[in-house]
Amino acid sequence: MNLGPAEIGLIILAILLLFGYKKLPDASRSLGRSLRIFKGEMKGMKDDDVRAKDQARTTPVTGTVVTPSPNPTVAPSAVDYEAEARAMEARAAEARARAEQARASSAVTDTSH
């Protein structure tokens, strides 16, 4: 797309007609400020990345070494899962009973008024 001097002149004329010559300096100033802010934020993000990489290189890793035991533990059996499922069902039934009891007591309170 080659723009010649005539096309550029028409574009400038259209911009002048749309915005007016008084508003163009303010618009260009605000555009320049926005670009400066954007560049500053991008530079800040790059500086943060560099600092994080430097800190990762200089920070020693601390921790404990875990060695596997000679006798591996046996995986939990299906019986353990069944007992856990029964306990969860019992807790759920207890919660439903409490909720039903609360509903019943609130219904009694509502009808007594």
In this structure, the answer to whether residues 26 and 54 fall within a common structural domain is yes
**Do 83 and 53 lie in a common domain?**
no
Question: According to the model, what pLDDT value does residue 93 have?
Answer: 92
Provide block-wise average pLDDT over 10 residues at a time, the chain (113 residues): 86 84 83 93 88 74 69 57 86 92 76 57
User: Is 39 contained in some domain?
Assistant: yes
Please tell me whether residues 52 and 12 are part of one structural domain.
yes
What's residue 86's pLDDT?
87
Same domain, 51 and 13: yes
pLDDT of residue 91: 93
Q: Is the dihedral of CA 52, 56, 62, 64 positive or negative?
A: positive
Q: With contact defined as beta carbons under 8 Å apart, do 19 and 27 qualify?
A: yes
**Cβ neighbours of residue 11 under 8 Å, at least 6 residues apart?**
3
Q: Is residue 2 part of a domain?
A: no
Judge whether 70 lies within some domain: no
- Domain span including residue 30: 7-58
What is the pLDDT, as a whole number, of residue 20?
80
* Burial class (CB within 10 angstroms; exposed 0-12, middle 13-18, buried 19+) of 17: exposed
Confirm whether 19 is domain-assigned. Answer: yes
C-alpha span between 67 and 104 (Å, rounded):
57
pTM summary value = 0.35
In the chain, the number of structural domains is: 2
Rounded distance between C-alpha atoms, residue 57 and residue 63, angstroms = 16
Residue 28's pLDDT is: 84
Helical packing angle, 5-19 and 24-58, nearest 10°? 100
